[in-house]
A and B are shown apart, each in its own frame.
Chain A
């Protein structure tokens, strides 16, 4: 079977941007087309990963707007919303479009504009994904993280400091990412003394609110060399859901969507967790990096925290995690984040990651929506 290649990629600067969602999407989409030297009218399909442009700024119908702005009129367009995992779900849709033969050239652009809202308002837009019996109690995604972190620390005798080490590591990585929202190291003491947000988690256990966009350009591998000297292939991809109501999970410290989506992706790629050289995980909250690193099979259940403490997941460790700085320091513009994870794998695999370059030819990205409600796992490799 002809595999699906990624021949171009881009991301905008993440952070507090003046641009609105249409402009952010156009900036990233234009840059990805330029990266591969492809024109807008070469696109058969155009996908936009976005959670809530209507709720955030009263702008709907963004895929059509983007097609017009990029000179891609005539292309089939579609918005992909899978909340925080919209980017990963967009990769799945774009991969399907090429793998099925429906499209020979697909552009995926993910983006979100959020920083014009107060923290409370933005938190409420995101919390609107919850079930009515959760929403009425004022539950937020950060409070799910607090509930889960307490359970994890209690169950596996993990020290509170180990969560802080995730923030320290990912901030350290973000310093070398020119697109990151925060390019500043933090020490463990700062993390542990920052204000409580959802006990036992504190401000530095959480990603910021962010504007930004990222894009990927897909075509069949058989024609990739016509466009690009260097490209990567999507060797495995899988998506899965877990309960909508978070308290209905048997084990609050296991994300079944991560387990099931990665099983599918590993099987497709004919790979296992031991073959992964580096990974981008959805560290919207520090605790999520532990849960995913275990549920992806990198470490035993309840032992992910030890790997972080021992430096295994550092940039110079055996399995670097979040070389981009992760959502924690790079920022988390909802619909863009899953696309930006794959952008990091792409530049790492091409050897274009500059000061944050690591060695390896197999990268994995895990994009989590809700609190593990819907998950996409993607494996990218050198051809």
Chain B
């Protein structure tokens, strides 16, 4: 599975993709895989009051990647919060099931449940 950010002809990059580029309104025509890139922690938290089917505690971070001079951010689980600080480098690590699709309110078939956690480098 790839970790796809989406790019419009004007070079704006977003994760996730949108029907039209939020910046300029053009159609997004390319994808950029973030899976093999190193990102930087913008901020992080450890959530202890988690919904049904979500690991507890749940470490989460907003991570920023650079793609040809444009920055793009993604939110995701951290593999660990031990020693993590704003500005640290992290790498995406694939996880087959980020939460139990059957336990929450959302229809299991309506979305994907695999994705990338962030591992401190």
Contact = CB atoms under 8 A, between A and B. Distances in A.
Contacts of B15: 133, 248
Interface in B29-58: 42-55, 58
Interface residues of B, number: 40
B111 interface: yes
B77 A138 contact: yes
Provide the main secondary structure of the chain B interface.
Answer: loop
A19 B48 CA distance: 30
A195 B48 CA distance: 9
Interface in B44-81: 44-55, 58, 60-62, 73-77, 81
A198 B48 contact: yes
B51 A140 contact: yes
A123 B61 CA distance: 19
Contacts of B48: 195-198
B74 A247 contact: yes
- Chain A contact patch, size range: 35 or more
Given A133-B75, A150-B86, A248-B73, A138 B99 contact: yes
A134 interface: yes
A252 B86 CA distance: 13
B104 interface: yes
A150 B42 CA distance: 10
A122 B74 CA distance: 25
A17 B50 CA distance: 24
Contacts of B51: 120-121, 123-124, 127, 138, 140
Contacts of A125: 105
Given A124-B104, A142-B49, A195-B48, A131 B86 contact: no
Nearest to B76: A137
A142 B56 CA distance: 14
B75 A134 contact: yes
B19 interface: no
Contacts of B105: 55, 121, 124-125, 128
B112 interface: yes
A247 B118 CA distance: 15
B111 A135 contact: yes
A243 interface: yes
Given A136-B99, A136-B111, A138-B51, A143 B76 contact: no
Nearest to A154: B86
A87 to B, nearest CB: 22
Interface string A105-141: 0000000000000011101110110011111111110
A232 to B, nearest CB: 38
Contact of A140 (B44, B47, B86): B47
Interface string A235-250: 0000000010111100
A132 B112 contact: yes
B99 A143 contact: no
Contact of A138 (B14, B50, B110): B50
Contacts of A123: 49-51
B111 A132 contact: yes
A125 B104 CA distance: 9
A148 interface: yes
Contacts of B49: 119-120, 123, 140, 142, 197-198
Given A136-B113, A147-B62, A243-B22, A252 B46 contact: no
Nearest to A119: B49
A220 interface: no
Contact of A131 (B16, B52, B99): B16
B45 A146 contact: yes
A151 interface: yes
B119 to A, nearest CB: 14
Given A121-B52, A127-B51, A131-B16, A151 B42 contact: yes
Given A121-B52, A138-B51, A148-B43, A128 B73 contact: no
29 contacts: A120-B50, A120-B51, A121-B51, A123-B51, A131-B16, A132-B110, A132-B111, A133-B15, A134-B75, A135-B104, A136-B112, A136-B115, A137-B98, A139-B47, A139-B60, A142-B47, A142-B49, A143-B47, A146-B46, A147-B44, A147-B75, A148-B43, A150-B45, A196-B46, A247-B42, A247-B75, A248-B14, A248-B22, A248-B73
Given A137-B76, A140-B49, A150-B44, 18 more contacts: A120-B50, A124-B51, A128-B104, A132-B112, A133-B15, A136-B99, A138-B51, A138-B99, A139-B75, A142-B49, A146-B45, A147-B43, A151-B42, A196-B46, A198-B47, A199-B45, A199-B47, A248-B14
